Amino acid sequence: MIVSLAPMEGLTGYVFRRVHAQCFGSLDRYYTPFLPPPRVGKQFGGKAFKELDPEHNHGLNVVPQLMSKNADEFVGATQVLAHMGYREVNLNLGCPSGTVVGKGKGSGFLRNLDELEAFLQDVCSRSALPVSVKTRVGFEDDAEYEEILNLYCRCPLAELVVHPRVRSDYYKGAPRQWLYGETLARAPFPVAYNGDIFSVEDADALMASYPQTRHVMIGRGLLANPALARMMQGGPAATVTELQRFHDALYRAYEAEIGGNAVFRMKEWWFYAKCAFADPLAVHRLIRKTRKASEYEAAAERVFREEGLAAVARFHG
């Protein structure tokens, strides 16, 4: 089975995936957090270029994710990405953020199916790379998915990654896994599952219900338990020494990339990583008030020295 890392803006960028791969072994595939395509004829610049720079992704199988509703810019971006050596591009049709939806992008594109179909047919025919899609199953109501799935089935997609929530769920409530099952049964292209795989048991239950599953994408589960992919392949849970080594490497790598903002970035990571400990609230209290690098470093060191690990590291919100 393919296990991939979900795109998560601010969390699973090139620094994270490189350090995670060094400490816990590579996943089969990584998706970049969403990137805006450059203007037609231009290259990716700034933050997006850093994310895509082959130097930063050496040895990892990375799929760039784009967020756009401009077909010419999307196609132009695929040409740039093909030159950089990428072999697939992913379109974000799931982002629930108000700003994104307000512009008709991300899950907001699911409200305008005529425009979405014209866009997909156009970009699939002109793209320099195979086009995969990461989607939610509707905007307000999962009844919308019938029409959305029919639309996807008419397009030559490389793969469809299904996060079976609607936009108004954001990340709450149980994923509607039966709509993933419906997709597996009907789609003429490969299908992947994403949503709330937080433990080996969750992955096993998915496989038991949908034995045709060939690709599982994991996000929050791997942030809370960096050994999750390894455990899904029969490997051991993370030890406290491994976790501390991973933490230290991640912090140093962020420091090298973004200097003083590394503390802020690590605090976002701790929102998930605290779930690896028996008392996540105690971990949160130790980390949250730190501002200066020296305070942060002392607090993190104390967490690893004093806080015991949870029996099972599992994301729980």
Residue 80 or 100 with smaller CB distance to ligand FMN: 100
User: What are the two backbone dihedrals, phi and then psi, of residue 86, each rounded to the nearest 5 degrees?
Assistant: -75, 155
| Residue 103 known to bind ligand | no
Residue 148 or 307 with smaller CB distance to ligand FMN: 148
Report the DSSP beta bridge partners of residue 305: none
| Residue 219 known to bind ligand | yes
Contact yes or no for 48/82 (Cβ under 8 A): no
Q: How far is the CB of 127 from ligand FMN (least distance, A)?
A: 18
Give residue 214's identity as a one-letter amino acid code. R
| Residue 87 known to bind ligand | no
| Calpha distance 173→186 (Å, rounded) | 25
Q: How far is the CB of 33 from ligand FMN (least distance, A)?
A: 4
Check if 95 is active-site: yes
| Residue 134 known to bind ligand | yes
Q: How far is the CB of 173 from ligand FMN (least distance, A)?
A: 12
Where does this chain bind ligand FMN (CB under 6 A)? 6-9, 11, 33-34, 65, 92, 94-95, 134, 163, 171, 194-197, 218-221
| Calpha distance 287→307 (Å, rounded) | 12
| Residue 94 known to bind ligand | no
Give the residue closest to ligand FMN by C-beta: 219
Residue 144 or 202 with smaller CB distance to ligand FMN: 202
Catalytic annotation, pick one of 95, 153, 155, 275? 95
Residue 16 or 307 with smaller CB distance to ligand FMN: 16
Write the DSSP string, 79-147. HHHHHHT---EEEEE----HHHHHTT-GGGGGG-HHHHHHHHHHHHHH-SS-EEEEE-S-SS-GGGHHH
User: What are the two backbone dihedrals, phi and then psi, of residue 160, each rounded to the nearest 5 degrees?
Assistant: -120, 120
> Strands 65-66, 89-93: parallel, antiparallel or unpaired by DSSP?
parallel
Residues tagged in the binding site annotation for FMN: 65, 134, 163, 219-220
Residues tagged in the binding site annotation: 65, 134, 163, 219-220
Query: Where in the sequence numbering do the catalytic residues fall?
Result: 95
